[in-house]
Structure 1
Amino acid sequence: MKSFYFGGQKSGKTSCAIKKVLKIATSKPYYIATYDNSYDDKAMQQRVQNHIKERGDDFFTIEETKDLTKVIKSNETYLIDCMTMFILNNMNNGFDYIKRQLEEIFKIDCNIVFILNDINNGVIPMDKYSREFVDLSSLVGQILAKNCDEVIEVKYSLERRLK
């Protein structure tokens, strides 16, 4: 089972996805944290701590910022939180690099719940880097929506199944 949860910032995606993963897992699942915690960003570090507290001891945690293919194995269950940070970490590697990883991941017989921030509903950004980021995020979202068994939009912790 491959599931795709998307929604705006602080929409409740992670808490909804955690429930899903714990429901489908047959053994202790893996939480893949994609945030590059090397920045001196206190607010983001607090968000990381909140996510750690929220998932408690229910998950094994793997920190992987750039290459998901080296940590995802068959017959396991994963929560990837989040693809947005994964995209940001791989901006210099380009879309083809990200697409190849996703193609390889979808070949693996395992359960995965992907989380992605929905950032493509606003004004087209003025600067080139931000436009590229929004474009990449939208393209990755399309790949996830096409290849996942289910697609769930989350708003205010309410889930709406689109597929």
Structure 2
Amino acid sequence: MTTELVLGGARSGKSSYAESLALAGGKEVVYIATATAGDDEMAERIERHRQDRPNNWHVVEEPIALAKVIADYSTKENCLLVDCLTLWLTNCLFNQDYAIDWQQQKVDFLAALEQAPGDIILVSNEVGQGIVPMGKMSRRFVDESGWLHQALAKQVERVTFVTAGIPQHLKGA
């Protein structure tokens, strides 16, 4: 089993890079989409991602229960591609329909990754390289994102940062 965290800013090429890794692995790919279409612009982004993905990939749309999806779908014969963790974080922190315990979601997610038998590629936005946001909610999001990325970087075999479509390997080969 190999796990890799692919980080980058918006439109950095991180999803394309992660998809190329999944294809190169030669295994069946299960694409786990965490996005929800809260507005027209996001619906267009989701549709663009759908059109870019190979038709033979199995797609699981899950905005919150990521640990369960990993446990249910990871096998030695496949590769899970999770896109994207910052959208998942947003869904967990700011979901107004359900009371969600973010810390428990995070613990369960990290445990599911540790126990997963298959390859996993995780895509996430690096949001902590700018100034500290003024709003309390924005600061919490940046903090939680940073702590999640740190925990993942310790746990996964590889970490890659993508800028302008160019992957920079931070950890692992």
Q: Considering the TM-score relative to the shorter chain, is it more than 0.5?
A: yes
Distance 2:7 2:80 in 1: 16
Deviation larger for 15-24 or 93-102: 93-102
Of the candidates 124, 133, 136, which is equivalent to residue 132 of structure 2? 124
Task: Return closer, same or farther for 1:127/1:133 CA change in 2, 3 Å cut-off.
Answer: same
Residue deviations 1:48-107 (CA, integer Å, cap 9, x gap) = 111111113141110001111222233221100000001111115223431332222221
> Conserved in 2, the CA contact under 8 Å of 1:30 and 1:60?
yes
Partner of 1:30 in structure 2?
30
**Pairwise CA distance, 1:16:** 0.4
Gaps in structure 1 of 5+ consecutive residues: none
Distance 2:61 2:105 in 1: 19
Partner of 1:141 in structure 2?
149
**Pairwise CA distance, 1:5:** 0.4
Distance 1:20 1:13 in 2: 11
Backbone CA RMSD of aligned residues? 1.3
Q: TM-score of the superposition, structure 1-length normalised? A: 0.92
Amino acid in structure 1 at the alignment position of 2:62: E
> Conserved in 1, the CA contact under 8 Å of 2:84 and 2:124?
yes
**3-state DSSP of counterpart to 2:101:** helix
> Conserved in 2, the CA contact under 8 Å of 1:95 and 1:136?
no
- The share of aligned pairs that are identical, in percent, is 31
> Conserved in 2, the CA contact under 8 Å of 1:2 and 1:113?
yes
Distance 1:45 1:13 in 2: 19
> Conserved in 2, the CA contact under 8 Å of 1:4 and 1:115?
yes
Of the candidates 67, 70, 91, which is equivalent to residue 69 of structure 1? 67
Written as runs of structure 1 = structure 2, the 5 A alignment for 1:14-53 is 14-26=15-27, 28-37=28-37, 39=38, 41-53=39-51
Distance 2:122 2:134 in 1: 28
**Pairwise CA distance, 1:19:** 0.5
Length, aligned pairs only: 160
Partner of 1:109 in structure 2?
117
Gaps in structure 2 of 5+ consecutive residues: 94-99
Distance 2:141 2:131 in 1: 13
**3-state DSSP of counterpart to 2:60:** strand
Distance 1:56 1:121 in 2: 32
